[in-house]
Amino acid sequence: MTSPDADLTTLFGAPVTPPSQSVRYRQGSIVTFNPSTFQNTVSVGNATHENLPLLVSAEAPNLSPGVSVAILAIGEETGAKTYAIIGRIRRA
């Protein structure tokens, strides 16, 4: 059994070394989406991205061409970025 004072941070991978990556929010638009395979094409800004990860799979039935989605952008503003779809933007 592990001591209550044990350091559990090693269970979650190596710590991030400085400088850490920035995380930002963007808005995108679905161009194509296959709800069975989650294959997708998403327009973000002036670029088109293919097969972005979908963090909330329950959203899959609601995604179709033209739907606005929230995008998580990971990485420096001028460097390489990783994008992920975090959900559909729904207006009341």
More confident residue, 82 or 13: 82
Q: How far apart are CA 40 and CA 52, in angstroms?
A: 7
> 3-class SS at 11?
helix
Total domains in the chain come to 1
**pTM recorded for the entire structure:** 0.72
Whether pLDDT at 88 is above 80 = yes
pLDDT above 70: residue 14: no
Q: What is the pLDDT of residue 57?
A: 85
What pLDDT does 74 receive? 85
Q: Is residue 40 part of a domain?
A: yes
* Residue type (1 letter), 6: A
pLDDT at 22: 78
Looking up residue 80, the CATH number of its domain turns out to be: 2.40.50.230
When computed from its CA atoms, the radius of gyration of the chain, rounded to whole angstroms, is 17
pLDDT value of residue 81:
75
Is there a contact between 22 and 75 (Cβ–Cβ < 8 Å)? yes
Which residues span the domain enclosing 79?
22-88
